């Protein structure tokens, strides 16, 4: 029995009679598959980065108090919204430093935290010294998420016997 040789440049037939696929075909499929896995991997990294860098509203509250204790205007500006600064009149470093005056040794304790859509609401008992006199007040802090960052957006004095947040 004599077997016929396939013409030059054509793939060798497989034992089943079908021609074998050329090597470039497998390389092209492998490259396309690797590219697809790379795209999926990039999306996974971007999503993981977004989730892990969401920030924490508690750290915003801590930054706010740290800015008060150290009279750090830059930290104050970074941890508050423009609306909050406009409402309080603390729109510049001069007004911020002037408003702190004789206030020192601000301590606080978070009593409750409620998460709402786009907000974290903290009930805080704050103790500070003003002209040598200790003052204790209950406050409600509204920390808002904007553009992937948490910023202090409002403070409310909790009246004695006031309604708790629910």
Alpha carbon dihedral 78, 136, 157, 163, in 10-degree steps, equals 130
- Supply φ then ψ for residue 160, to 5 degrees: -60, 130
Per-10-residue mean pLDDT, the chain, length 166: 59 64 86 92 80 73 87 90 91 86 74 85 86 86 87 87 55
Query: What are the angstrom distances between the C-alpha of 164 and each of 57, 123, 159?
Result: 20, 9, 10
Are the C-beta atoms of 12 and 20 separated by less than 8 Å?
yes
Please report the DSSP string for 9-72 in residue order.
TSPPBPTTSSBPPPHHHHHHHHHHHHHHHHHHHHHHHHHHHHHHTS--HHHHHHHHHHHHHHT-
Structure confidence at residue 76 (pLDDT): 92
Q: What six digits make up the tokens of 72?
A: 């750090």
SS3 2: coil
Residue 163: predicted pLDDT: 60
Handedness of CA 90, 91, 93, 98 (dihedral sign): negative
Q: Which residues have C-beta within 8 Å of that of residue 19, sequence separation ≥ 6?
A: 10, 11, 12, 13
Q: What is the pLDDT of residue 51?
A: 61
Rounded distance, CA 145 to CA 160, Å?
29
Cα-to-chain-centroid distance, residue 94: 30
pLDDT at 83: 93
């Amino acid at each position: 029995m004599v077997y016929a040789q396939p013409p030059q440049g054509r793939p060798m037939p497989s034992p089943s009679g079908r021609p074998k696929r050329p090597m470039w075909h497998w390389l092209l499929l492998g490259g396309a598959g690797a590219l697809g896995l790379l795209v999926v991997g990039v999306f996974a990294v971007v999503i993981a980065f977004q989730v892990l860098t969401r920030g924490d509203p508690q750290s915003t509250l801590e930054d706010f108090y740290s800015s008060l204790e150290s009279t750090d205007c830059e930290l104050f500006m970074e941890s508050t919204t423009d609306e909050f600064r406009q409402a309080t009149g603390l729109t510049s470093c001069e007004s911020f430093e002037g408003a702190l005056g004789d206030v020192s040794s601000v301590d606080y304790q978070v009593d409750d935290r409620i998460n709402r859509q786009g907000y974290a609401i903290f009930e805080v008992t704050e103790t500070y010294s003003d002209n040598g006199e200790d003052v204790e007040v209950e406050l409600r802090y509204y920390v808002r998420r904007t553009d992937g960052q948490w910023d202090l957006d409002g403070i409310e004095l909790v009246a004695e016997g006031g309604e708790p947040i629910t």
